Amino acid sequence: MLKSTYIIIIIFFLSFTSYAQNMDGLQQYINQIITGKNALVSVAISGISQNDTVGVQASQRLPMQSVFKFPLAIVMLTEIDKGNFTLDQKIEITKRDLTPEIWSPIRDKYPDGVTLTLREILEYTITLSDNIGCDVMLKLLGGPQKVEQYFAKQGFKNISIKINEKTMQSNWDKQFLNWCTPQEMNNILKIFYVNKNNLLSMSMYDFLWSTMKSTNTGLNQIKGQLPAGTVVAHKTGSSGRNKDTGVTAALNDVGIVSLPNGEYFVISIFVTNSKESKETNERMISDIAKVTWDYFTGINNRN
């Protein structure tokens, strides 16, 4: 009996050691991808197990740019759950709302203003990262601070949302007021996905999940090298490049990746203060997502 117990302990120890080495291997691959790049690259990865965790500078407070539209959507859908709004409620977007010189497919399509349902505004804001749609919702909610306050009450301390897109896009330095750590963004993504009823009703969860799966920005980032048909529910964010310094303050992609066996991993990648080209920044994100995919599917294959 003692001998059998001893054998079990040895097998467990060897399995744990092998597992830890595999996680270390993933981190080493990520380090290889980012080494030598003129950029701060921060990564948080979480799988189903507590041990399925990798962090590279994951506690850094970094500018979110449009990634903050994901927590904004959660708060708006929470208000819909409370009965304060409905998805089919019609919202007027006037010509005064159509801020020039910021990214907005809504403005491009409706230059004189338009009335859209809240459902449509959410879809524009998530799938196409529409900045005017974002600011219209922030106005309906009572300002960016309402989003920050919601997450603070939920126990998320490492996220700051202070300004809207109009303010962010008009002043390079102010974009740093909306920040999050990659680890905290992973925490929000995971509680959204795993503990669905903790944040939203199932109908609102299903709507946001479906919308995030339809995200049409950052196609060369997390999704770039994953197998065709891989389900990725994600949100991107980008500052563009500062014309004076040549620095990209933020190129980010965060999301949930479904695996072939029905499991998943959550990943948040923030590329900050980069002097690399857009293509290099995108490739770092896609390379990191690909080695993470290879790691998780490799474990599945060995099992």
Render pLDDT for 31-55 as a digit per residue (tens, 0 to 9): 999 999 999 999 999 998 877 899 9
| CA-based nearest residue to 42, from 242, 240, 186, 244 | 186
Handedness of CA 210, 211, 214, 215 (dihedral sign): negative
Give the up-direction half-sphere exposure of residue 303: CA atoms within 13 A in the CB hemisphere: 9
Residue-averaged pLDDT of the chain: 91
Q: What is the pLDDT of residues 202-224, one digit of tens each?
A: 999 999 999 999 999 999 999 99
Q: At what angle do helices 131-141 and 118-127 cross, to 10 degrees?
A: 130
Q: Kindly indicate the confidence band of residue 300, based on its pLDDT and cuts at 50, 70 and 90.
A: very low
Q: Kindly indicate the confidence band of residue 22, based on its pLDDT and cuts at 50, 70 and 90.
A: low
Handedness of CA 129, 135, 141, 142 (dihedral sign): positive
Name residue 115's beta-bridge partners: 92
pLDDT score, position 197: 76
What whole-number distance in Å separates Cα of residue 81 and Cα of residue 207? 12
Please report the DSSP string for 247-275 in residue order: -EEEEEEEEEEE-TTS-EEEEEEEEEEE-
pLDDT score, position 195: 84
Residue among 123, 165, 184, 282 flagged as catalytic:
165
User: pLDDT above 90 covers what percent of the chain?
Assistant: 85
Q: Which of 19-23, 48-52, 95-99, 102-106 has the lowest mean pLDDT?
A: 19-23
Is 66 among the catalytic positions?
yes
136-139, long-range: CB < 8 A, 24+ apart: 136/91, 136/93, 136/97, 137/72, 137/76, 138/72, 138/164, 139/164
Question: Cβ distance 53 to 45 under 8 Å?
Answer: yes
Predicted confidence (pLDDT) at residue 2 exceeds the cutoff of 70: no
Separation in Å, CA 253 to CA 119, 167, 198, 241: 23, 22, 24, 17
Averaged pLDDT, 225-231? 97
What whole-number distance in Å separates Cα of residue 247 and Cα of residue 23? 32
Q: Kindly indicate the confidence band of residue 240, based on its pLDDT and cuts at 50, 70 and 90.
A: confident
What whole-number distance in Å separates Cα of residue 32 and Cα of residue 197? 39
Domain positions in the chain = 39-302
Superfamily of segment(s) 39-302: DD-peptidase/beta-lactamase superfamily (3.40.710.10)
CA dihedral 133, 136, 140, 144 (to 10 degrees): 90
Residue among 66, 104, 160, 268 flagged as catalytic:
66
Predicted confidence (pLDDT) at residue 285 exceeds the cutoff of 90: yes
Q: What is the pLDDT of residues 115-160, one digit of tens each?
A: 999 999 999 999 999 999 999 999 999 999 999 999 999 999 999 9
CA dihedral 10, 16, 20, 22 (to 10 degrees): 90
Is 184 among the catalytic positions?
no
